Amino acid sequence: MPGNIRNLAMEKVASTVLFPCKFSTSGCQVTMLHTDKGDHEEACEYRPYSCPCPGASCKWQGALEQVMPHLLNQHRSITTLQGEDIVFLATDIALPGAVDWIMMQSCFGHHFMLVLEKQEKYGDELQQFFAIVQLIGTRKQADNFAYRLELSGHRRRLTWEATPRSIHEGVSSAILNSDCLVFDTSIAQLFAENGNLGINVTISIYVLIYFELERHSPFPLAKYVWLC
């Protein structure tokens, strides 16, 4: 069977040759074995950013600095609220079919996109809601933040806390894996008022603070990390 004959000599060459990243023309200088190319290029900082709006309707791609101008020009209907603690109000959550609600939140000098997505599974038997926050920024920047989503009311509370996604990786895989706030229609109705659902969103930033405890102490530097 010719298909099963492995060209060991060629495989050996391929396993030692370093290939450039396909975004080398955009400035990436990394070279790697062909087996590492897929993983690198998926995460490569030089890979263009896609439009962060959920759904596949907008095909825009560009540099990170162009994402906010793109949103402001092409997606003007998106509301932006200022502050680290806001309410994301999703109206008419009983709307049939798959629906996305999005909103922008600005704080700590950054922009975050809040996404609530409703999906129908098994026909319309199961409706699930997925809520998540993504940073208009790199993965590295996203690691500096935490977000909390909270539904509260009627003496009940449902909370989810996590690190925001970078728009570079997007939210679709997180939603697919339920790595976000997930709830069904019954829970949504427990918290909804007049068909609208308010989600409290709080963004926090990790701050690294270095203290020199005492100039001549045996412990010259103590490191504290906390969430403010």
Name the site residues for Zn ion (rule: CB under 5 A). Answer: 21, 23, 28, 30, 44, 51, 58, 60
Count Cβ atoms below 10 Å from residue 181 Cβ, excluding itself.
22
Closest to Zn ion by CB, 21 or 136: 21
Does residue 68 contact residue 56 with C-beta atoms inside 8 Å? no
Smallest distance, Å, CB 222 to Zn ion?
A: 37
Smallest distance, Å, CB 47 to Zn ion?
A: 7
Smallest distance, Å, CB 75 to Zn ion?
A: 6
Closest to Zn ion by CB, 28 or 190: 28
Segment (H or E) for 14: helix 8-14
The span from the CA of 207 to the CA of 102, in Å, is: 28
For residues 46-57, b (16+ Cβ closer than 10 Å) or e, as one string?
bbebbbbbbeee
Smallest distance, Å, CB 32 to Zn ion?
A: 9
Smallest distance, Å, CB 171 to Zn ion?
A: 14
Closest to Zn ion by CB, 21 or 115: 21
Closest to Zn ion by CB, 65 or 214: 65
Does residue 180 contact residue 174 with C-beta atoms inside 8 Å? yes
Closest to Zn ion by CB, 19 or 23: 23
> What's the Cα-to-Cα distance from 103 to each of 40, 74, 148, 216, rounded to whole Å?
31, 14, 15, 51
